[in-house]
Amino acid sequence: MGYNYKIILQYEGTRYNGWQKQGNTENTIQGRLETVLFKMTGKQIEIHGSGRTDAGVHAMGQVANFHLPEYRKPEQITAYLNQYLPEDIAVLQTEQAPERFHSRLSAVGKVYRYQIRTWQKKDVFQRRFQYGFGKPLNVDAMKKAAGFLCGTHDFKSFCGNPKMKKSTIRTIRSVHVEQAPENGTVTFTFEGNGFLQYMARIMSGTLIETGSGERLPEELPRILEAKNRQMAGFTAPPEGLCLMEVQYKRASKNWRQQSL
Name the site residues for a copy of itself (rule: CB under 8 A).
Answer: 10-12, 58, 60, 82, 87-90, 92, 121-125, 127, 129
| Cβ(161)–Cβ(195) below 8 Å | no
In 3-state terms the chain splits into helix, strand, coil percentages (rounded to 5) of 30, 30, 45
Please, what is the minimum distance in Å from the beta carbon of residue 239 to a copy of itself?
11
Calculate the dihedral angle through the C-alpha atoms of 205, 206, 210, 215, rounding to the nearest 10 degrees.
Answer: 130
AA identity, residue 119:
W
Pick 11 or 66: Cβ nearer a copy of itself: 11
Pick 58 or 110: Cβ nearer a copy of itself: 58
Please, what is the minimum distance in Å from the beta carbon of residue 183 to a copy of itself?
12
Please, what is the minimum distance in Å from the beta carbon of residue 126 to a copy of itself?
10
Pick 89 or 186: Cβ nearer a copy of itself: 89
Pick the catalytic residue: 54, 88, 123, 140? 54
Pick 82 or 193: Cβ nearer a copy of itself: 82
Please count the other Cβ atoms lying within 10 Å of the Cβ belonging to residue 119.
14
Please, what is the minimum distance in Å from the beta carbon of residue 83 to a copy of itself?
10
Pick 128 or 173: Cβ nearer a copy of itself: 128
DSSP annotation string for 169-204: EEEEEEEEEEE-TTT--EEEEEEES---TTHHHHHH
CA–CA separation, 74 vs 94, rounded Å?
A: 5
Q: Which of 165, 188, 167 is nearest to 178 (CA)?
A: 188
Please, what is the minimum distance in Å from the beta carbon of residue 127 to a copy of itself?
6
Query: Which positions ≥6 away from 44 have C-beta within 8 Å?
Result: 34, 38
- Catalytic, 123? Answer no
Bridge partners for 179 per DSSP: 186
Instruction: Point out the residues that are catalytic.
Output: 54
